Structure 1
């Protein structure tokens, strides 16, 4: 079974459009470029050679110290394979009352977050692949990171073992295959309680449901712990907003002196 990237975007068209609007790319832009390439193929109807040229231009404009010699092979590959997969367009991942009752019944609080994360990942994989049958295939370290659970490798193994013993998951029988089958997906389609549309901090999404204090960044929408009553932006966006305000103040001051 193919091992999938842990980066998950439910609405790739909107995401690609935002990437194109932003002045800078992330430090590791490969994933964003793959989504942009699919957008250029499916929405702008560009051919692979045209997609490649656009990707080069995007990197030149938005990526610090871009060197074509270091990126050419990757960009050519991304452009070539842009047509192989459609843009993903999922409104949200539903989490039902029965699924939450199962997770709430787990005694370990960190394990609850792991179970919630695995549930969302499996339901996502089911939506993008109708033959998936409740399987996930991600590195455990990435699952724990998405679940906002800090644990040593030994602790991770204990938690996975405990989830298996509880009948919550099954492991692939093949040696060296870490695929996990999630066994508590609600097949009765009971009442929807949560609608998950952001996978960046799934553990926090569960804790928010449990009543703990969080806020969503006004700029990027990421869920963060609330440590003060007046928090509106995550740290990264707060810096961007403050820098923009500083630029505007400087421009206003200079204009007043003219």
Structure 2
């Protein structure tokens, strides 16, 4: 099974260790492709054997049930994580962690990636859900995305073709695998970039301690509000007041 894969293949194993919530039942196999050819071979194997497949990065936005998944999980976080600084753009692998990217670029005096410091996901996941925080979203800094489509063809789309919405993109409706992305490159004084990035990272640590299994924020927070916490708190206060008036 999957003998032509260069990367590691783990058969009949639990998905839990590969997700941030550390829960989830077993699957038929988890693969860690070394290159694009590996991914194509996994897809070919799954299609030939009529097996479903799912791609993940660090599993920070996944809640896997305890039910057995008779399919293959493609984990791209080990190898597809390179960061390449070009003259007028930044090329990043889909498996690269967002905080790592934010600090790497801040140390190189590059602006507008500080909001990624507080998001515990990968570049691929950020594109799929148009991840954002602090009033910024992935669509604001993305130039293009390269992915493998449903037919095994490598495609490159510009930002306008991704159909971004609030925490949404066309990739949520398609069985595609993002490989890499190109981002805008804007300069900023190194000290300022690092200060902004550290500030957001520290704020996240206060909200979501690193020693706790968490998937981050549970509710969607529109850029211009109203924010879920505020709505819940107002509702709580109103219920308490009503209870007191009735008693």
Query: Structure 1 length as normaliser, TM-score?
Result: 0.27
Larger Rg: 1
Structure with greater strand percent: 2
Structure with greater helix percent: 1
